A and B are shown apart, each in its own frame.
Chain A
Amino acid sequence: MSELYARTVAELSQELRAGSVSSVELTRLFLARTQQYQSELNAFITISADSALEQAARADERLRAGTAGPLTGVPIAHKDIFCTRGEKTSCGSRMLANFISPYDATVVERLRAAGAVMIGKTNMDEFAMGSSNENSFFGPVRNPWDLTRVPGGSSGGSAAAVAARLVPAATGTDTGGSIRQPAALCGVTGIKPTYGRVSRYGMIAFASSLDQGGVLAIDAEDAALLLAAMAGFDQRDSTSVELPVPPLHATLEQPLKGVKIGLLKEFFDEGLDRGIEQCIQTGLSVLQAQGAVVREVSLPNLPLSVPTYYVVAPAECSSNLARFDGVRYGYRCEQPLDLLDLYQRTRSEGFGAEVKRRIMVGTYVLSAGYYDAYYLRAQRVRALISADFERAFHEVDVLLGPTTPTTAFELGAKTSDPVTMYLNDIYTIGANLAGLPAMSIPCGFVDGLPAGMQLIGPHFSEASLLNIAHRYQRETDWHLRLPSRFT
């Protein structure tokens, strides 16, 4: 049996119920690792030792009383985009560097109710805008597999924390790939559910028609455990879907015989690293050996995902971030001359470069005379991309391809040109535009760096994605590999 810190949520849950370890002991263990590696990885913005130990003590009472659920007493971390009552919620920004949330996000509330112990808030690209975690006001996160490289973003802190086993699982959000891309680059399992599956209440908004909360974990089983606790209808989110969530854990073991997998032709382009392509082909054969049937599928409009996204997402961002005005909460500039100066300097000083760039692009594409040419056209192309997916799902059950074109790149390698950085999300954005659930699972290594395999399913097919991922992970051990400096 592996070291306690390297166990999955499911395994830790068993130990807790068996009484072989207490939640307080586990919480101390993961807090100690988090603190030990903070200077190297910078994976956390806030470490909440005191409140974590209090929660752990309460979890131990529930465990003793026999009222514990599968997550009771298990330490986790939340991406700092989720509001946590009484705790700093910064969203990686100077704008909210001192913001103490007066309420809990629904995701936080539900995981708390399930008994999960929150040990802290993870680092992220400012307002979830970025693919490398270099846009955080609190400094970049480093990739546990190579400290000179990025962990991906925007949920880079959560991905690095799980990869280094500072926590067994963490929450994330995904607007254009922000769960799947860092999961791939750090060698962990990540799931972005269907749009509307997980409540956006208390999840700081970036692009409201694309944002979706999800999980980063060691394996698919753990992702299912957390997602089951987080997902489901919430009155307080106007786009929350009023559909019951099937028991995600119950179908993990279903055989894959006859499952139709579509290999996404457009993802195997000239930009894809040959080593990653090799990993995907090998991964595919693992699924075929279990009876899955593979065929190639083409989505001709999918290559337009990146340009579509870089109209829609900045437009929604510019609108959402208009609320930061230096009046009601958050940063305020010193000595404002008048109200206009207060707004302008507060926003210029409070937002970082990438956030301002997107606000500028968004304001431009929504401005008079340009709305039809940019925003409306992008929403039309979005409909075409969505229709491509729908057609594909008449032929196959799930789509498969790489999560990212390359493995983790070096810090600073892509910061000079925003467009180069944007192209990191070329394979992940499509699922957000169409509102589809998608996963990234570890499928090998290229020159010592993890590669991710992506699964995209029809709306509300989280259970099938988790089933395929779990069956894959039963036959492989890529997800159990640990970077040596963290063992």
Chain B
Amino acid sequence: MSIKRSDIESIAHLARLALSEPEIPRYIDELSRILGLVEQLTRVDTSAVTPMAHPLPGQRQRLRADAVTETDQHQLYQRNAPQVSTGLYLVPRVIE
């Protein structure tokens, strides 16, 4: 499996990670090794196999009643926020 520099740059962008210049060759090497390990999966014929979507057979997605179960606790939750003002999360200006 050969990973190119452009692959690393586009994955990093999708993952919203900023990579420094010296990190790029390292990621090329490490991802190539990991994907090399994963190549083993092509050795087995899976054409007739249904992909496993849940670790327990026969489980169905449970739904809860459409009822209000949470109270407003935004002040408590926002104590962990890096920057808030009047109950709003602040980020750098998006629209000029």
Q: List residues of A whose CB falls within 8 A of some B CB.
A: 98-100, 102, 194-196, 209-210, 235, 238-239, 241-242, 301, 304, 306-308, 310-311, 318, 322, 325-332, 336-345, 347-348, 351, 356-357, 359-361, 363-365, 367, 374, 376-384, 386, 417-419, 422, 432-435, 459
Please report the C-alpha to C-alpha distance between residue A209 and residue B54 in the assembled complex, in whole angstroms: 7
A195 contacts which chain B residues (CB < 8 A)?
55-56
Query: Pick the contact of A383 from B19, B37, B51 — CB < 8 Å?
Result: B51
Complex Cα gap A318–B15 (Å): 8
Contacts of B89 in A (CB 8 A): 327-328
- Asked whether B44 lies within 8 Å of A382 as measured between CB atoms, the reply is no
A336-B52 contact in complex given A347-B17, A380-B46, C-beta closer than 8 Å: no
| B68 CB-CB contact with A under 8 Å | no
Q: Which residues of B contact A418 (CB under 8 A)?
A: 30, 33-34
How would residues 29 to 66 of chain B score, 1 for a CB under 8 Å from any chain A CB and 0 otherwise?
01101111111111110100111111110010110100
Q: Which of B11, B44, B61 lies in contact with A381, CB distance below 8 A?
A: B44
B87 interface residue per 8 A CB criterion: no
A15 to B88, CA, bound (A): 52
B14: contacting residue among A329, A338, A367, A435, CB under 8 A: A367
Q: B1 → chain A, closest Cβ, in Å? A: 10
Q: When the two chains form their complex, are residues A102 and B80 in contact, meaning their CB atoms are under 8 A apart?
A: yes
Question: By the criterion CB–CB under 8 Å, are B49 and A196 in contact?
Answer: no
A383 touching B76 by the CB < 8 A rule? no
List chain B positions with a Cβ less than 8 A from chain A.
7-8, 11-12, 14-19, 27, 30-31, 33-44, 46, 49-56, 59, 61-62, 64, 73, 76-77, 79-83, 89, 91-94
- Sample 28 A-B pairs with CB under 8 A, ordered by A number: A196-B56, A209-B54, A241-B59, A310-B37, A311-B41, A327-B81, A330-B80, A338-B93, A345-B18, A347-B15, A347-B17, A361-B31, A363-B14, A364-B7, A364-B31, A364-B35, A365-B38, A378-B38, A379-B51, A381-B41, A384-B46, A386-B55, A418-B30, A418-B33, A419-B33, A422-B34, A434-B55, A459-B56
Q: Is the CB of B34 within 8 A of A419?
A: yes
CB contact under 8 A between A380 and B50, given known A360-B12, A363-B11, A419-B37: yes
Least Cβ–Cβ distance between B11 and chain A, in angstroms: 5
Q: Is there an interface contact between B91 and A327, defined as CB atoms closer than 8 Å?
A: yes
Alpha-carbon distance between A328 and B8 when the two chains are bound, in angstroms: 28
In the assembled complex, the Cα of A381 lies from the Cα of B46 at a distance in Å of 7
Known contacts: A348-B19, A360-B11. The answer to whether A328 contacts B81 by CB under 8 A is yes
> What's the Cα separation between A77 and B14 when bound, in Å?
38
The answer to whether B44 and A348 have CB atoms under 8 Å apart is no
Query: Which residues from A are CB-within-8-Å of B91?
Result: 327, 339, 342
- The one of B14, B19, B76 that contacts A102, using a Cβ cutoff of 8 Å: B76
> Which residue of the partner chain B has the closest CB to A375?
B51
**Is the beta-carbon distance between B92 and A238 smaller than 8 angstroms?**
no
Please tell me if the beta carbons of A383 and B62 are within 8 angstroms of each other in the complex.
no
Min CB–CB distance A328 → chain B (angstroms): 6
Q: Which residues of B lie under 8 Å from residue A376 when comparing CB positions?
A: 51
Give A326 to B77 CA distance when docked, in angstroms: 14
Which residues of A have CB within 8 Å of B27?
357, 360
Asked if A383 contacts B18 (CB within 8 A), the reply is no
In the complex, A356→B8 CA distance in Å? 12
Shortest Cβ distance from residue A354 to the other chain B in the assembled complex, whole angstroms: 10
Residue of B nearest to A238 (CB): B62
Report the 6 A-B pairs with minimum CB-CB distance, sorted nearest first: A435-B55, A379-B51, A332-B82, A380-B46, A329-B80, A344-B18
Find chain B residues with CB under 8 A from A332 CB.
82-83
Is the beta-carbon distance between A308 and B41 smaller than 8 angstroms?
A: yes
Residue of B nearest to A331 (CB): B82
On chain A, the residues within 8 Å of B53 by CB distance are: 379
- The residue on B at minimum CB distance from A336 is B92
A374–B38 touching, CB < 8 Å: yes
Partner of A210, one of B8, B30, B55, B64: B55
Chain A residues contacting B7 (CB-CB under 8 Å) are 364
